[in-house]
Amino acid sequence: MNILKTLPQRLYRHLITGLVLFSLIGSFPLHATEIKLVSASGQTEPLSNYIGNGQWVIVNTWSPSCSACVAELPRLKQFIERNPNISVLGVTLDFPSFGYGKMDLLQNFLATEPLSYPLFLADIEQVSELIGRWLVGIPSISIFHPDGQPLVTWPGVIEINEIETFIANYRKQKDPLRDGFEDW
């Protein structure tokens, strides 16, 4: 008996969708610097203007309609003040659909809460391509090596010292989060 024929149609669709999404994880062909996104000013820009230019880059994936995302923004402002040599970019999605970000929602938010770093609009597929893995939730912080390679993505609200520790301890052949724990 074919087990797929015995599954309810709705469950079958979810199973197939899950298999398709699973096949996408880790198989994003573009390098982050090859991606172009629409900025908050409405212009399409290559991310090579920001990523892969010899300095660390933090990408914050968020939405103005996500309360946890908005709550994290003061931490990012503090991170920028403490780390002026590390660039920060924001990429906004629609929430909760993870569809393409809404320009009007972003502009209305920025009118009351201005942000000092470049902002872009995207959907879950574009962000996943950018960070090199499937986006699992927002807010999300991704760290890019100065050569443009995405190294790590943290979903959820993050403490800025975690970002600073990762960058300060990064070595290509070592896990910076486990540094000093080799004997465990």
Highest mean pLDDT among 23-27, 104-108, 166-170, 180-184: 104-108
pLDDT for 81-127, tens place per residue?
999 999 999 999 999 999 999 999 999 999 999 999 999 999 999 99
> How far lies 102's CA from each of 89, 95, 167, 179, in Å?
17, 9, 32, 41
Cα–chain center distance at 54: 20
Stretch 44-54: mean pLDDT = 96
Q: Supply the pLDDT for residue 67.
A: 97
How much of the chain exceeds pLDDT 70, in percent? 77
pLDDT tier for residue 63 given thresholds of 50, 70 and 90 = very high
Stretch 3-13: mean pLDDT = 47
Dihedrals phi, psi of 123, to nearest 5 degrees? -120, 180
Mean pLDDT over each residue of the chain, to the nearest integer: 84
Torsion of CA 105, 60, 98, 122, to 10 degrees: 70
CB distance 128 to 134 below 8 Å: yes
* Of 19-28, 50-59, 62-71, 93-102, minimum mean pLDDT range: 19-28
Domain ranges of the chain: 30-169
Dihedrals phi, psi of 37, to nearest 5 degrees? -130, 160
pLDDT above 80: residue 13: no
Q: Supply the pLDDT for residue 14.
A: 41
Q: What is the DSSP letter of 18?
A: H
Q: How far apart are CA 162 and CA 52, in angstroms?
A: 22
pLDDT above 60: residue 24: no
Q: Supply the pLDDT for residue 173.
A: 59
- Indicate the class that CATH gives domain 30-169: alpha beta
